[in-house]
Amino acid sequence: MTAEFAVALPAIALVLAASLASVHVVAVQVRLADAAADAARALGRGESEASAADIAARNAAGARLATSGDDRFVCATLTGRAGGVLSALELHAESCALRGGL
């Protein structure tokens, strides 16, 4: 019984660690998506790119903001790292807003 438990315990710990890491990655992705939406709305209202970057940094610290757009829409793309065990994983989120919107 003890030998089987000793063999199974590392596998259980690995599955638990992988599960917690995946939950963390999803949480960071949601934070990036929310921050991209906030930044896009700010840019759509006519605020500066620096102001939009500050808004994004409040929700997703360490994320890089890139903007693009055309005559009707402005888009904000945030890129950040997952952090923790999966810090090599790079995450992206993009959101667009109508220019001149409220």
* Average predicted confidence (pLDDT) for the chain: 89
SS3 of residue 83 by DSSP: coil
**pTM for this structure?**
0.81
Identify which of 93, 97, 96 has the alpha carbon closest to the alpha carbon of residue 30: 93
The confidence score (pLDDT) of residue 62 equals 85
Asked whether the beta carbons of 97 and 44 are under 8 A apart, the reply is: yes
The confidence score (pLDDT) of residue 101 equals 62
Binned at pLDDT 50, 70 and 90, residue 82 comes out as confident
The confidence score (pLDDT) of residue 84 equals 76
Axis crossing angle, helix 2-44 with helix 49-59, rounded to the nearest 10: 150
User: Rounded distance, CA 30 to CA 51, Å?
Assistant: 21
Binned at pLDDT 50, 70 and 90, residue 102 comes out as low
